[in-house]
Amino acid sequence: MPPRKKAKLTPPGGTTEPSSASAAAPGGTQPPADYDPVTDPWTDEQETALLKGIIKWKPVGMHKHFRMIAISEFMKSQGYAPANAEHTRIPGIWKKLDTLYNLPALDEREDSLITDIPDDVDGTKEFYCPFELPEDEYGDLMFERRLAMEGSPSPDPSGPADSRRGSTVADTDGSTWARVVKLYVPVDGG
C-alpha cells in the first residue's frame, strides 16, 4: 500500500473548504474517528511483527479467527506482545487492523472468491474442473488404447528387462575369492 499524500492546507482554487473527494482516504476507507496516531500504543517493532504475521496468516475469510490466534501467538513468541499490554491482545490487534484496513470489505472479497463458482454449460456448479486430455493431440492414442482394452482385460505382463551390463557372477570365480580372503586373514593367528 503506497503512503498517503498529505492534504494541502489551501486548495489551488483559493477556497478553504476541503472537498469530499480529497478528504476520503484511498479505497474509500478512513480510520475510526477515535484513532489518534500520536497516542497509538503500538511501537514500530510491534507493528512490524504484526505485518509479518498478517503476511503469513491473512486474517480474513472463513478461518480469520484461527489465523488471528496464530498472529497473536507469533507476536508472543517473538517477544512483541507482553502479557500486561492490552493493545497486543487479540481484541487490540483487531482494532489495529481495523485502522489499517477495511476489514468488512476484505472479508466480503475473500468470501466472494470462495462462493463464486462459475456455472457450467448444463447449469450445475462444480468446485473442480474434471481433467481431460486434448482430443486433437491425444484422440488417436486414446482410441487405440480403448480398442486394445476391449481385446484383453489386462495388458500382457512384460518379462524382466534385459540389462545392458553382463553378469558379474561369472567374472568372480573361486580363485579370486581365495586371494581376497588370504589378504585379510592373519597368518600367525594373533
- Going from N- to C-terminal start, the domains of the chain cover 44-116
- Evaluate if pTM is beyond 0.85: no
Rounded alpha-carbon distances, angstroms, from residue 83 to 57, 70, 101, 112, 169: 22, 16, 25, 37, 73
pLDDT band (50, 70, 90) for residue 148: confident
61: left (phi over 0), alpha (psi -120 to 50) or beta: left
- Number of other residues whose CB lies within 10 A of the CB of residue 63: 14
Task: Please tell me the total number of residues recorded for the chain in this structure.
Answer: 190
Task: Please report, rounded to a whole number, the percentage of residues in the chain having pLDDT higher than 70.
Answer: 53
Average pLDDT over residues 86-97: 91
In this prediction, residue 174 has a pLDDT band, given cuts at 50, 70 and 90, of low
pLDDT bin (cut points 50, 70, 90) of residue 25 is: very low
Q: At what angle do helices 64-78 and 90-100 cross, to 10 degrees?
A: 110
pLDDT tens-digit map of 30-78: 555 676 777 788 888 999 999 999 999 989 888 899 999 999 999 999 8
Which amino acid appears at position 20 of this protein? Answer: S
Tell me the CA distances in angstroms from 89 to 46, 72, 93, 105, 107, one per residue in order.
12, 7, 6, 23, 21
Rounded CA separation 13/23 (Å): 16
Q: How far apart (Å, rounded) are the C-alpha atoms in residues 169 and 57?
A: 60
- The pLDDT of residue 53: 93
